[in-house]
Structure 1
């Protein structure tokens, strides 16, 4: 009996089980305090990456002949994690529906299965006659683009995201999704360079390390996505746990995003109104200006001489933009999106006031 292999497997089992338990308890607490369904739906899906990664990695370790199927599930969830994290960030800033980044992975997984069945795919085989090299190159480009997009998005929206403490969340997602991917590539490159005995040993090492890393990730999620942020008078009672779970498991948001982004009306973008339920959306034409409710810009306000009523002159460009807006934008105002009309505040008749205000010295002489 190989005691070293047995200890190796036992350690992986302990780490994977502990990570899964911590993550599921964390999810349970979020669902008990489901005060912000829009945000917590995505958070629950992100935390669930830990059980998926841990269980699939452990199964790949003990059942290496079927590892391609377990690894494929893990890779598909990679894309799902990226999609949900983008969606969460965009929901925080009230932005448009998320980019559908989750489409590429399932397509590549299907292609991988076909090539594997034909003997043209083998994990860690970088031969030009095998498809592993080319699929890895496609994955690398897609991961690099996603990482770049996350970095650009954070740089552009840093001020809007600051109230949500985004730094630990970005670190956790980048660590789990991106670093673990490149870690796997480096492990197989080490096997090709003979630093590791062969590709099978490299795969075992990768799966074992992932089991350990998921325990660290589960603990990190407790701090990056704490459930106690949603505990309070607005928190839902524990009796609504089933409804919270069903809401988190529904894929209607992904369906609507997919339909929207592949529809001819893609030039319209969507703002979500978090105060009026999950399904309330507002569409704005691409030519319209959408007020954010955070900053009010006064454009070309001028004051005429004192013998005429004071009026506010709004630039024709702004007026044209308001004409292009749809009726719901003009008629409906909420906490997130609003229109500000300052005309009434400036509509004051100053004709009875002197044109020149006397200086302080003149007043003292009088």
Structure 2
């Protein structure tokens, strides 16, 4: 029994040691790959400087012309993605044995980018909740995108807006939570960021993040499909591509590289482990992609549509910047989300209970109430018809004016006169 416990402990220690030793420091001038690594690092620095400079110029222009803050504060938050990604990727390439910490910070901001873009589309749709519902009220049923394209849904009503918002907002909660958990597991030595084995924490952190980001991106795509014709003047397609480009490549290429490591496609040498090569390639690619992203932002999120032509009316850069970096609206949305879900559940419950309530009125026999004005009773053939008269007020009905609607025969408010004594015989 003791020997089994000792063997299990030795095996666990060996797993952790293997995880730690999978990323040996090779940034050493004595290694033959040193020159290649230095060139990639210098290129990443240049890419980061170019991308950050373009983004800084575009951001300052928006802050100087902060004429529509309900749009521009979400746009500026999307811009922050470029310098954050560029800096973290460059540091991850140079100090790759600490890459897990830089990558977690970089990937965590991805959640805020997705939700910021969703809120930007929401503002494009309408300034208030009622205005958005009014736009969606005329929509027909829409088919879900792949892989749920065999189902359809109705975007009318409050449920569609709330469900898509919650689907994007959950990523803002889950991703930072997984970030904190990943830091804790890294400190405990059980994360093993380059292993996709279920015995390591990286497998579970990546699986949860992958599920969460897929749900958020699916909801974002679904929301865009429904409203893109209604917000065509804002050119949403190019903005969607600019955001999707960064999120897609940064996340999925990391999954691809990890998969290539697992199937032993990436080469290893005396100085390079496949895991190390995966980190270097990922960091270099993201640094390069940030240059493309900054150019896309220059075109898709131009500041000229918000330009303030009078110089004296220019907004304060510091004041606009503080308004953009205030993330309290995220906190408020997260805090109100459970209450909105409860309210939606209550409305659905009331609607279902009303639809299941049986009708109180049942139509009597021998009476024609199929929308005939005056509701003249139908008597058996041998009985004379009693027309409404002042002498027989029991058969008189209310005179409906043209301005009033005829009551539905299924309504409980429908008045049906009693039968006469002769009719009941």
Same fold at TM > 0.5: yes
1:259, distance to aligned residue in structure 2 (A): 2.0
CA distance in 2, matches of 1:183, 1:134: 18
The reply on whether 1:88 has 2:164 as its aligned counterpart is: no
Structure 2 residues not aligned, in runs of 5+: 1-28, 127-131, 133-160, 269-273, 352-399, 409-425
The reply on whether 1:221 has 2:297 as its aligned counterpart is: yes
Q: Please state whether the residue corresponding to 1:81 is helix, strand or coil.
A: helix
Aligned counterpart in structure 2 of residue 186 of structure 1, from 241, 244, 256: 256
Where does residue 272 of structure 1 map in the other structure?
none
Where does residue 276 of structure 1 map in the other structure?
none
Q: Please state whether the residue corresponding to 1:187 is helix, strand or coil.
A: helix
The reply on whether 1:164 has 2:247 as its aligned counterpart is: no
Answer whether contact 1:16 1:58 (CA < 8 A) is retained: yes
1:232, distance to aligned residue in structure 2 (A): 4.2
Answer whether contact 2:48 2:87 (CA < 8 A) is retained: yes
Answer whether contact 1:143 1:178 (CA < 8 A) is retained: no
Where does residue 393 of structure 2 map in the other structure?
none
Structure 1 residues not aligned, in runs of 5+: 270-284, 289-307, 317-366
Structure with higher Rg: it is 2
The alpha-carbon distance between structure 1 residues 233 and 116, as it changes in their structure 2 partners (threshold 3 A), is same
Q: Please state whether the residue corresponding to 1:263 is helix, strand or coil.
A: helix
1:162, distance to aligned residue in structure 2 (A): 1.3
Once the two structures are overlaid, the 10-residue window that deviates more, 238-247 or 75-84, is 238-247
Answer whether contact 1:35 1:234 (CA < 8 A) is retained: no
Where does residue 70 of structure 2 map in the other structure?
38
The alpha-carbon distance between structure 1 residues 72 and 28, as it changes in their structure 2 partners (threshold 3 A), is same
The reply on whether 1:155 has 2:222 as its aligned counterpart is: no
1:68, distance to aligned residue in structure 2 (A): 1.5
Q: Please state whether the residue corresponding to 2:316 is helix, strand or coil.
A: helix
CA distance in 2, matches of 1:244, 1:171: 26
CA distance in 2, matches of 1:201, 1:231: 46
CA distance in 2, matches of 1:310, 1:33: 57
1:267, distance to aligned residue in structure 2 (A): 2.2
Answer whether contact 1:43 1:225 (CA < 8 A) is retained: yes
Q: Please state whether the residue corresponding to 2:231 is helix, strand or coil.
A: helix
The reply on whether 1:19 has 2:51 as its aligned counterpart is: yes
Count, aligned residues = 283
The reply on whether 1:127 has 2:159 as its aligned counterpart is: no
CA distance in 2, matches of 1:136, 1:210: 19
Answer whether contact 1:57 1:211 (CA < 8 A) is retained: yes
Q: Please state whether the residue corresponding to 1:103 is helix, strand or coil.
A: helix
Once the two structures are overlaid, the 10-residue window that deviates more, 22-31 or 122-131, is 122-131
Where does residue 231 of structure 1 map in the other structure?
307
Answer whether contact 2:174 2:209 (CA < 8 A) is retained: no
Answer whether contact 1:33 1:235 (CA < 8 A) is retained: no
Answer whether contact 1:123 1:199 (CA < 8 A) is retained: no
Aligned 1:100-119 pairs, distance under 5 A: 100-101=169-170, 102-119=172-189
The alpha-carbon distance between structure 1 residues 27 and 266, as it changes in their structure 2 partners (threshold 3 A), is farther
Answer whether contact 2:114 2:217 (CA < 8 A) is retained: no
Aligned 1:304-319 pairs, distance under 5 A: 311=403
1:129-152, Cα deviation, whole Å (9 max, x unpaired): 212122222122112112211121
